Amino acid sequence: MTLAVIHAGLTVRSLLRRRVPVAVLVLLPIALYLASHDTVGRSVRALVFGISWAVSTVALFATLAARELEPGLWLAGHRRRSLSAGRTAGLLALALVLSAGFWAVVALDQPVRSLAAVALDFAVTAAVAVAFGTAVGALVSAELEGALVLFLFAGLQAVANPFDAWTRALPFWSSRELGTWAIDGPAQGSLAAGALHAAAVVALCVAAAAVGTWRHRRVPSAP
Amino acid sequence: MNDDAGRPAPPTAPPELSREWIRGVLEPCLLALVATGDSYGYELAGRLGSAGLGPVPGGSLYPALTRLEKQGLVSSRWRAGDGGPGRKYYRLTAAGRHQLAADAERWDSFAAAVAGLLRGAATR
Amino acid sequence: MNDADWLAALDHELTLRGVSAAERAEAVLEAETHLADTGPGAAARDLFGPADRYADDLARAAGAPGHRAAPGVTEAETCLLRADSVAKAYRGRPALRPSSLAVAPGQVVALVGPNGAGKSTLLRLLAGLEQPDAGSVDRRVAAGWVPQAGGLDPYLRPVEHVELFGVARGLSRADARREGGRLAAHLAWDLAGAPVAGRLSGGTAQKLRMVLALVGSPRLLLADEPYQGLDADSTRRFWDLLWSVCEAGAGAVVSSHDPQVLRRADTVLELEPAAEGAR
């Protein structure tokens, strides 16, 4: 088994042993879903919102935790790229399994135009959330700071009126757009726009994470 | 004469032979002794002493025996003792016999050369 | 030192020089029998010399991995790590005066100095975790890193840490587990049964850090006051482990206050605080 695979597995194991993140991961989306259960559109969008926030948080925690192990592993001769690849793969796998679970809930519970489209929405959201959470983790120094940043973005996302142009600057605009596409059909939401936006956000996050990692390495810890 | 800081001279002090000389000839001498029959460390040390080489310290003896064994010139076997854990006996191998013959041959010319140098200087 | 102590010391010294268990047992037994044959009146030290010197000769004769490389011999090809006049300042305040050192295989360099002298900073520069403001660091080999704190995932068990680090150094998972268990045993710690790192005591966490740094036999070890938080027995075991690793050819840079270390280290680099009134 390669290092990246082992690292992925241990990332997930470490996360699943933390009670709060696991609870957030599972309960937050479900709670939001149940709170808006009456309308198909609102409930699915609430679920997606919950997934984006919860997965970002978990990715944030994992990235910060990895900072402790990375110096030693890097000195052992391993490239940073392979380490972050392992961690990201683990997070992505966890997020996709989670999304699959939520998708099953929707499939059983709600009449939806296209289950496949909903699945795509969830998957893209999970991927963007992993990238976003990792980027924030790379840029901040502590979990609380990172959680507050995510809270800020979640708040903005929640109050955003989809018809305002500025909302496209938000990282999860694509989730919303794809959600609209999945529920209301291609006339209302654009698959292409959503996919493009998601790809752009992921690219931006990867760049931001690189900057953050570089910056972090120049900051001393307890000299 | 010795390099172990603070190490006292052994109890039976013979004419002091240079440690370096002893170290140089120890391995061939051990081969010669073992050629006459299997023997163990303490006994070999005693025989070297009787032969006129003075007391050979264990600190030099066993490393030399180990080197001979690693080179395949002697082989070793543990023999049970009475009431004790036993002793490690060394035996000459065929290769060792060969080496001994070669050493014996070269020693004469070597010793003659050294003798010539030393006596030549002494008579000046 | 009586004969029993000398024999015990011999066994210990032979272990440090990488002599196999079987050869070690034979060597000690031969010496014991020789002493018995000689009878009372002569001490082991008189007949064999100091235990470590005798162990040196025996180990060399036996072809064991063995003895420490001669200090001061640092050819470019065999130099594991070299730092030339490295200095560092944080936010304008100097943290480390220009310092230089070199580490060859088998050498131990001790960094000493009061708090604030820059020992941790220098170690981080040597590790490459930070860039020096002046001078250069040339590290030729992969290294093991023992930080003063951190370096662990609180939610992973020691066994899981060992697997990760062992595989990073090229071992298989099973080999990593085995070697980690062996290293931990040297430190009198049962690694397999330990709970997640967040629940370990300070001293045990330190032992884990050491095991992680040593698993996979790195050729260089960088340790920042690694014995902190350890009791006397564990400290002794740590140093024994370190010396044996170096006898086997690794180099090490260790920051320390311990006078025992200063005597046995090949080189001692004394650091003075760079800034006035630092700490």
Query: What residue of C is the nearest CA neighbor of B7?
Result: C46
* Choice among A69-78, C8-17, C72-81, C96-105 with the minimum mean pLDDT: C72-81
pLDDT of residue C100: 87
Stronger pLDDT, A130 or C239, i.e. the higher one:
A130
Q: Are C19 and C157 in the same domain? A: no
pLDDT of residue A145: 93
Q: Are C13 and C120 in the same domain? A: no
pLDDT of residue B83: 61
Asked if residues C257 and C112 have their Cβ atoms less than 8 Å apart, the reply is yes
Interface contact flag, B84 C54, Cβ < 8 Å: no
C210 inside domain? yes
- In angstroms, the CA C2 to CA B109 distance is 46
Q: What is the pLDDT along chain B (124 residues), one digit of tens a residue?
A: 444 444 444 444 445 667 778 888 999 999 999 999 999 999 999 999 999 888 888 888 999 999 999 888 999 888 876 666 678 999 999 999 999 999 998 998 899 999 999 988 876 6
Cα separations in angstroms, A96 against A123, A157, B44? 6, 22, 77
- Contacts of the segment C33-41: beta carbons below 8 A, 24+ positions apart: C33/B40, C33/B41, C33/B42, C33/B81, C33/B84, C33/B85, C33/B86, C33/B87, C33/B88, C34/B41, C34/B42, C34/B45, C34/B58, C34/B62, C35/C3, C36/B84, C37/B42, C38/B42, C41/B11
pLDDT of residue A184: 84
Q: What is the pTM of this model?
A: 0.64
pLDDT of residue B12: 47
Asked if residues A40 and A110 have their Cβ atoms less than 8 Å apart, the reply is yes
Collect all residues from B whose CB is shorter than 8 A from any CB in C. Answer: 4, 7-8, 10-11, 40-42, 45, 57-60, 62-64, 66-67, 70, 78, 81, 84-88
pLDDT band of C275, cuts 50, 70, 90:
low
Asked if residues A72 and C212 have their Cβ atoms less than 8 Å apart, the reply is yes
Q: Are C51 and C89 in the same domain? A: no
As a CATH number, domain B19-122 is: 1.10.10.10
A223 inside domain? no
Asked if residues A128 and A173 have their Cβ atoms less than 8 Å apart, the reply is no
Q: Are C234 and C105 in the same domain? A: yes
C74 inside domain? no
Q: Are C181 and C221 in the same domain? A: yes
Q: Which domain holds residue A113?
A: 3-218
pLDDT of residue A177: 87
Of B64, B58, B75, B66, the closest CA to residue C62 belongs to B66
pLDDT of residue C207: 94
DSSP C171: -
pLDDT of residue C25: 87
pLDDT of residue B124: 63
Q: How many domains does chain A have?
A: 1
> Are there at least 3 beta-carbon pairs closer than 8 Å between B and A?
no
Q: Are C97 and C202 in the same domain? A: yes
Query: What residue of C is the nearest CA neighbor of B76?
Result: C26
ipTM above 0.85, yes or no: no
Chain A with chain C: Cβ pairs closer than 8 A: 92
Q: Are C101 and C23 in the same domain? A: no
Please give the angle made by the CA atoms of C222, C224 and C229, to the nearest 5 degrees. 130
pLDDT band of A221, cuts 50, 70, 90:
very low
The 3 state secondary structure assigned to C72-110 is CCCCCCCCCEEEEEEEEEECCEEEEEEEEEEECCCCEEE
A175 inside domain? yes
Strand C108-112 relative to strand C251-255, pairing: parallel
Q: Are C52 and C94 in the same domain? A: no
Q: Are C131 and C236 in the same domain? A: yes
Whether A6 and chain C come into contact, CB under 8 Å, resolves to yes
Q: Which domain holds residue C176?
A: 81-270
Tokens of B65: 């025996």
Kindly report, residue by residue over C93-138, the tens digit of the pLDDT.
888 888 888 888 888 898 988 877 888 899 999 998 888 888 888 8
Whether A96 and chain C come into contact, CB under 8 Å, resolves to no
Q: Which of B4, B40, B84 sits opposite C53 (nearest CB)?
A: B4
The percentage of chain C sitting over the pLDDT mark of 90, rounded to a whole number, equals 25
Q: Hey, which chains touch C, using 3+ CB pairs under 8 Å?
A: A, B
Please give the average per-residue pLDDT across A37-45, as a whole number: 85
Q: Which of B7, B42, B67 sits opposite C34 (nearest CB)?
A: B42
Asked if residues C123 and C222 have their Cβ atoms less than 8 Å apart, the reply is yes
pLDDT band of C278, cuts 50, 70, 90:
very low
C264 inside domain? yes
Q: Hey, which chains touch B, using 3+ CB pairs under 8 Å?
A: C
C265 inside domain? yes
Q: Are C110 and C10 in the same domain? A: no
Q: Which of C26, C48, C50 sits opposite B58 (nearest CB)?
A: C48
| Chain C closest-CA separation from residue A27 CA (Å) | 21
Interface contact flag, C196 A17, Cβ < 8 Å: yes
pLDDT of residue A219: 36
C73 inside domain? no
Kindly report, residue by residue over C25-39, the tens digit of the pLDDT.
889 999 988 988 888
Residues shown for chain C: 279
Q: Are C44 and C155 in the same domain? A: no
The highest-confidence range among A193-207, A208-222, C80-94, by mean pLDDT, is A193-207
Q: Is the pLDDT of residue A107 over 80?
A: yes
Interface contact flag, B63 C37, Cβ < 8 Å: no
Q: Which of C144, C152, C155 sits opposite A17 (nearest CB)?
A: C155
SS3 state of residue C5:
helix
Helical ranges in chain C per DSSP H: 3-16, 21-38, 44-48, 51-62, 119-127, 158-168, 173-186, 202-214, 232-247, 259-264
Q: How many domains does chain C have?
A: 2
pLDDT of residue A201: 93
Q: Which residue ranges make up each domain of chain B?
A: 19-122
Q: Are C120 and C242 in the same domain? A: yes
Asked if residues B27 and B66 have their Cβ atoms less than 8 Å apart, the reply is no
Strand B87-92 relative to strand B39-40, pairing: antiparallel
pLDDT of residue B23: 84
Instruction: Name the residue type at position C80.
Output: L
C116 inside domain? yes
pLDDT of residue C82: 87
* Most C-contacting residue of A75, A79, A82, A83 (CB-CB within 10 A), to test interface: A75
